[in-house]
A and B are shown apart, each in its own frame.
Chain A
Amino acid sequence: MSLVQMSLAVELAAEQKQRRNGLARWGRPALGLLLPLALALGWELAVRAGFSNGRLVPPPSRIYEEFTELARSRELLRHVIATLLRVVAGFGFGTAVGTVLGAVAGYSTLVRRLVDPSLQGLRAVPSIAWIPLFILWLGIFETSKVALIAVGVFFPIYLGVMGAVLSVDRKIVEVGRAFRLSGFAMVRRILLPAVLPAYVLALRSGLGLGWMFVIAAEFMGASEGLGYLLIDGQQLGKPAEIVAAILAFAVLGKTTDWIIALVAAPFLRWEDRFNARAGES
C-alpha cells in the first residue's frame, strides 16, 4: 500500500513540475516514450523480417488491427462501459463507506477502539478470498462484482481518512477553538481542508485498487467487460485481443486517475510541497 501511495506522490509532484517548465512540458514525456517505441518498432521489424512468426507475441501492427476491429464493431465500447460501470459503482460504495467510517474512527477514540481492530483484521484477508463467499451470498451477477471492488476500494480510503483525521495539527484545531468554532463549523472550516490532501491521495490509491479488483471480479465469470475479453483472448488463443484489453485498461486507469488529480488540483494549490517550491524560485 505504501508503495502505491509513494509512487502516486512522486507522480503528483512530477506533474506539477511539468506544468511549470514550458519547454520541458512535451520534451520530458517524449523521453519516456523512447524505450517502448524503440522496442515496439524493433519487434515489428523482427516479425516483418521473418525472425519470428509473432503468433504468441503479436507485433504492434496486429495489436492495432485488433484494437481498431474491436472499436469498429462497437465490441470494445460495450466491454469498456461494462467494466467502467462496475468500477464506478464499486468505487462509489467503497469510497462512501470508507470515508464515513474513516472519519468517525479518526474523530472518536471510542469508535476507533471498537471498530478499528476488526477492520484491520479483515484488511489482512486478501480481498480475492471473499469471492466464493460473495458469490454464495450475492449471486454470480453484478452485485457480487461490485461488492468485491467496493471492499478493495474501502480499505485504502478508510485508512487514509482515519490517518489524516488523526494527524490534523492540534495547534490548528486550537485556532478553531479560539474562534469558538464547534461541531459542524469545526469540521467544515478546519478538519475538512486539513485532511483534503491526504484524502485525494487515498482516493487515488483506492481507485487503483478498484481497477485491480474489477479484473478479479470479471475473471470469476462475466459475459462482458475487459476482464472477460482477457479470458476470451486466452481461451481462443488470441494474444492480440489480450494486449488490446490491457491497453484499454491502461488508458482507462490513467484517465480516471488523472480526472481525480485534475478535479482536486484547484483545492490543493495552497500545499507547501518541496516540489512546488523548487519550481517557483
Chain B
Amino acid sequence: MLGLERVGKTYPNGVHAIDAVSFSVGPGEIVAIVGGSGCGKSTLLRAISGLDTPSQGRVLLDGQPVTSPHEKIGIIFQEPRLLPWLSVAGNVGFGLEDWPRSERAARVADALARVGLTDKANMWPRELSGGQAQRVAIARALVPRPEVLLLDEPFSALDAFTRTDLQDHLLDLWADLRPTLVLVTHDVDEAIVLADRIMVMRPRPGHIFEEIEAELPRPRDRQSAAFDFVKRRVLAALDRSLARPARVDDSETRASSGAALWW
C-alpha cells in the first residue's frame, strides 16, 4: 500500500512545484497521473521514488516513510538510461549485484525472456533499438520484484506503433507480478489503456484536480465506445484543469458514471 500525505515540494529557488497531494494506491492497482506540462507530475513521481525528498508531507510504503530510494520501489525513466558499458544481461542484473551468480543469471534470463529479448542478452545497449532499450529498462526495474513500480513518461520517446506494443507488454508483465504501478504520462490513450484510476493534475502549484475511474474490462479495446467515453471525460477534465474553454464537450459524460453503459 502506497500512501501520500499532503506531499508538497518547494524548490530552493522558491518555485512551488506541488502542493499538498494526498492519495493512496492499493497493491496491484494502476494509477496514471496526467496533466499539462509543468504541472509537477514528474516532481511528484520523483518524490515517491525517494530520489527527491518532499519539502512538506510524506510518502508512506506499507506504513513506513520513504525518504530515500527504496528496495521495494522501482523506477523507469523516460529514457532507457542503460549503462553503456554493461551488456544487456549486465544491465538487467544491475540491481542484483549481491546475489549468488547462478541465481542472478537465472533471474536475468527469466526477465529477458519475459520482455522477449533472450537473443539480445550479450549485446551492447548501443546495438538496441529505442523500443528494445526501453524493454531492457523495464526488465531491469522488474528484476528485483518491486512492490511499486514508478514510470515517468516511459514510452513518450517511442513511435506510436512501438508504444502500443510496449503498453500491452507492460500489462502482461504486470499481470504476472501484480506490482502497484504509478505512471506519469501526457498521453491520454496510454493512461486509459493502462490505468484503473486517472489523476488529472493542475499546475501552479501542482495538485490533484480531478480523479477519474476507468472501469473498463481488460484487455482494453482502444477502439471501443466505452474507451472513447472515458477518454472524453479525461480530456474535458484536462481542459478544465488548464482553465481553457472546453474543446471537448462532455456534458453527456458528466451526467453520471452509469452513463458509461448508455451506448
Contact = CB atoms under 8 A, between A and B. Distances in A.
A197 B84 CA distance: 12
Interface residues on B, range: 20 to 34
Interface string B78-112: 01010111100000001101000000000000000
A178 B51 contact: yes
A180 B85 CA distance: 19
Instruction: Identify whether the interface residues of A are mostly helix, strand, loop, or mixed.
Output: helix
A177 B69 contact: yes
Contacts of B49: 178
Nearest to B74: A178
B77 interface: yes
Contact of A193 (B71, B77, B81, B85): B85
B173 to A, nearest CB: 18
Instruction: Identify whether the interface residues of B are mostly helix, strand, loop, or mixed.
Output: loop
Interface string A182-203: 0001000110011010000000
30 contacts: A171-B77, A171-B79, A171-B81, A172-B83, A174-B51, A174-B77, A174-B81, A175-B77, A175-B81, A177-B51, A177-B69, A178-B49, A178-B69, A178-B74, A178-B75, A179-B69, A180-B69, A189-B97, A190-B83, A193-B83, A194-B85, A269-B124, A270-B85, A270-B86, A270-B124, A270-B125, A270-B126, A271-B84, A272-B84, A272-B126
Contact of B84 (A180, A189, A270, A277): A270
Contacts, number: 46
A15 B84 CA distance: 22
Interface in B92-144: 94-95, 97, 124-126
Contacts of B79: 171
B68 interface: yes
A81 to B, nearest CB: 37
A48 B94 CA distance: 69
B79 to A, nearest CB: 7
Interface string B39-81: 0000000000101000000000000000011110011010101
